[in-house]
Amino acid sequence: MIYVLNGPNLSRLGTREPDVYGAETFEDLRTLCVATGRELGLHVEVRQTDDEAELVGWIHEAADGKIPVVLNPAAFTHYSYALRDALAQRTAPLIEVHISNPAAREEFRHTSVVAAVATGTIAGFGLQSYVLALRAMADLINE
């Protein structure tokens, strides 16, 4: 089991700034992640929330269950110390993922409070960032 967790506004994929995030929808993302997981022999559960407390709760659930996480923290990337502290309790690999490349965007997006507690970060490849993260996760799990 792998959780693919997504933070605020990702349910708006396809309509939110398509020049930045593309035309694919959140349902397209869910389908892609589940299919990639199946290819890799992994069960993938995809979730999205705009609620910081709910996301922190899912991270606690993953830590308690030793469940690997692919996480797009979205805006929480830049300021959520509550999320960062929850992630520091992880008991399995954690890959931070972003559709766009935050380093190539506005300056406030250049800092990730999550990166220091993640196994690694993949960014800037559109929805393929998730595919790359799931493939890396499969390798980490099989080590």
| Contact indicator for 66, 1 with CB cutoff of 8 Å | no
Q: Is residue 85 a known part of a binding site?
A: yes
The active-site residue out of 3, 43, 81, 98 is: 98
Q: Is residue 80 a known part of a binding site?
A: no
| Contact indicator for 60, 86 with CB cutoff of 8 Å | yes
Q: Catalytic site residue 110? A: no
Q: Catalytic site residue 21? A: yes
Tokens standing for 53? 């407390």
Q: Is residue 78 a known part of a binding site?
A: yes
Q: Is residue 100 a known part of a binding site?
A: yes
Q: Is residue 109 a known part of a binding site?
A: yes
The active-site residue out of 3, 21, 79, 81 is: 21
Q: Is residue 99 a known part of a binding site?
A: yes
Tell which residue, 3, 17, 18, 136, has the closest CA to residue 63.
3
CA distance 131 to 133: 5
- Helix (H) and strand (E) counts for the chain? 5, 5
Binding site for substrate: residue ranges? 72, 78, 85, 99-100, 109
Active site residues: 21, 98
Binding site: residue ranges? 72, 78, 85, 99-100, 109
